[in-house]
Amino acid sequence: MKSVEIIMVPVKDRQKAKEFYLSLGFEVVTEASDAHGDAWIQMGLPGSSTTISLSGFPGIICETNDIEGKIEEYTSKGIEVGKVDETPWGKFAWLKDPDGNSLCLHQK
């Protein structure tokens, strides 16, 4: 993995949460409909490369240059990785840590 790209913060009301984070000094990076028809709201602090996503569930999205290579590496270590989803925003593959926390590999 190259970097932590997005930390997914579960919220009940995405618009209300957006207003709160705006009041803290965050800026909207992206606001659009996601693949499931929900609002994807991604926010960040000025000058920071790590962002947050106001979402329906928690997770950490980590950037990689070679998603297939990482999946092969992790699989060889006994780590189960889900299928690769190809989207207009890149390739994504989800996995869980031993406590059930969601991690996602993302190749742009």
Grade residue 31 by pLDDT with cuts at 50, 70 and 90: very high
**Secondary structure letter of residue 26 according to DSSP:** -
Question: Any idea which architecture 3-107 has in CATH?
Answer: Roll (3.10)
Domain boundaries of the chain, sorted by first residue: 3-107
Give the predicted TM-score (pTM) of the model. Answer: 0.89
Distances (CA, A) of 2 to 62, 64, 65, 106, 107: 7, 5, 7, 10, 10
Alpha helical stretches, state H, 12-99: 14-23, 67-76
Residues 27-56, mean pLDDT to the nearest whole number: 92
Q: Is 31 helix (H, G, I), strand (E, B) or coil?
A: strand
